[in-house]
Structure formats: structure tokens, C-alpha cells
Amino acid sequence: MLFQTHEHRSQEDRALAWCEDVFRCKAHRYHDKTAPLDFWLERDGRVVAFGDVKSRTTAADQYPTLRMSTRKIANMRLHAALHELPVLLVVPFGCGETRWLDVRDLDTPLDVTKWVRRAHRATNDTEPAFEIPLRQLRKAKSPPPPKR
């Protein structure tokens, strides 16, 4: 990630360790700072899923939705379609809870009318964002492992 801070890297490391524990896979980080996703998961020498980490400092129940750039959601859906594999959105919250979803299960369409604008790096640097209802993210401690 081009603008990654030390704190963001630490949160991502914890999220990848969580993925390894919960999904019983080996997590590999992309080393290209311009990669569209953060990691992939391997089991028995095979790629079983791709994923992205979106850390939040808020509590998991503080807001009803999670805002993600439409560009990021489109990249995740494209990976899922091209590779016919799960693409996981992993969200560690400031309260210590981690939630996740497979973007193939995202039941809200990318509808232009639902877009909101968000400050990206500065108040005048905005991009379209998509709101994902938090009820769509899984809370399970031991979710089913990604399947090929």
C-alpha cells in the first residue's frame, strides 16, 4: 500500500494472523505496493482465497455501515470472478472484534444511487464510496474455511 503507516501495517499483520488461525491457511502478503488486494491464502500448496484488510478504529456496533471505495469493491469482485475463488474482506475493529465477508456473498448491488463521497487522503481528495451494511459481515469465531 502506497500510503501505509506503521500502525496500519501492525493492524494488517494481526488480521493476517487471524485469517491463518480462523481459516487454517497460510496468509501471504502482496509485496507490490500497488497491488489491488492485500493478501492471498494458501492451503496444501494451493491458493484458496484472496483478501483485503480494512481496519477500523471504531467499535463494531458504532455505525450500521462500513464505507469502502467503489474502486476497491470492484477490484475484489473482479478477482472473485476471474479466479473463481473467494475474496475476503477482513475488518478488524477498534474494540477487538474482527468481522469478514466473501464479496461473492455481498447482496447489495453496486448502485450509483447508494454511493456516498468520502475524504480519501485530504478533504478535497474524495472518491465514490459504497456503504456495506454491517449485518452482512460475519461475526463467527470459526467460520467455514474458504473452499476451492
The string of DSSP codes covering 114-130 is G-EEEEEEETTEEEEEE
How does pLDDT run across 67-111, given as a tens digit for each residue?
888 888 889 999 999 999 999 999 999 888 899 999 998 866 655
- Decide: residue 118, CB within 10 A, 0-12 exposed, 13-18 middle, 19+ buried: middle
* Residue 71: inside a domain: yes
What's the pLDDT score for residue 112?
46
Question: CA-to-CA distance for 108 and 16, rounded, in angstroms?
Answer: 26
Convert the pLDDT of each residue in 119-134 to its tens digit. Answer: 555 666 667 778 888 8
Residue 45 lies in a domain: yes
**Helix (H), strand (E) counts: the chain:** 2, 8
Residue 50 in any domain: the answer is yes
Residue 145 domain-assigned (yes or no): no
Residue 63 domain flag: yes
| Residue 32 structural domain | 6-136
How high is the pLDDT of residue 128? 75
CATH assignment of the domain containing 65:
3.40.1350.10
Residue 144 located in a structural domain: no
Residue 130's region, left for phi above 0, alpha for psi from -120 to 50, else beta, is beta
**pLDDT classification of 140: cutoffs 50, 70, 90:** low
The reply to whether 122 falls in a domain is yes
22-76 per-position pLDDT tens digit: 889 999 998 887 888 999 999 999 999 999 999 888 898 899 988 888 888 889 9
> What's the structural domain count of the chain?
1
